[in-house]
Structure 1
Amino acid sequence: MVEVFATNIYSLGQAKSLEVTIAKRFPTYIVNFDLEDCDRILRVENQSLIESHTLAEIASSLSIVIRVLEDS
């Protein structure tokens, strides 16, 4: 499964902080970012279901907003 999120992340420090926090809660998730994209992309990959709601809560605890990008 792959889930793609738009974020309000504007620094590598914020991205790294979110990545570390996600890894602690979900060690099997593969996380990467494309901060050069206009949506400041967070991409999460996992063998099974991705808990998008929990990821949004984790991000929110770091003052980061994420929203699932729908397929066009």
Structure 2
Amino acid sequence: MKLIEIFKTDVPDKATARLLVRNLKSLFPHSKINFDLEDCDNILRIESSKPIDVRKVTFSLAEQGHRADVLN
């Protein structure tokens, strides 16, 4: 079973997104992680077979100076 979390972010560009994906992959190594910066909400999508700790995601982005809010 796949678990998916989607976040609205303030990530401005692809270079920043790549850096953040690398950092998130270290926290969630068995997950598929990507950004959709074409979307007006600069979507971050994480797909995993294991539970995704949304607080860990938001904290990790905050440490890098960015915001992530879970979309329901």
TM tier relative to shorter chain = over 0.9
Aligned to 2:21: 19
- Code of the aligned partner of 2:43: I
- Name segments (4+ residues, structure 1) moved above 6 Å: none
Q: Deviations over 1:22-51 (max 9, x none)?
A: 111211111011101010000000002111
- In structure 2, stretches of 5+ residues that fail to align are none
The RMSD of aligned alpha carbons is: 0.7
Q: TM-score, normalised by structure 1?
A: 0.92
- In structure 1, stretches of 5+ residues that fail to align are none
Counterparts of 1:37 and 1:7, CA distance in 2? 10
Aligned to 2:7: 5
Aligned to 1:68: 70
Q: TM-score, normalised by structure 2?
A: 0.92
How many pairs are equivalent?
Answer: 70
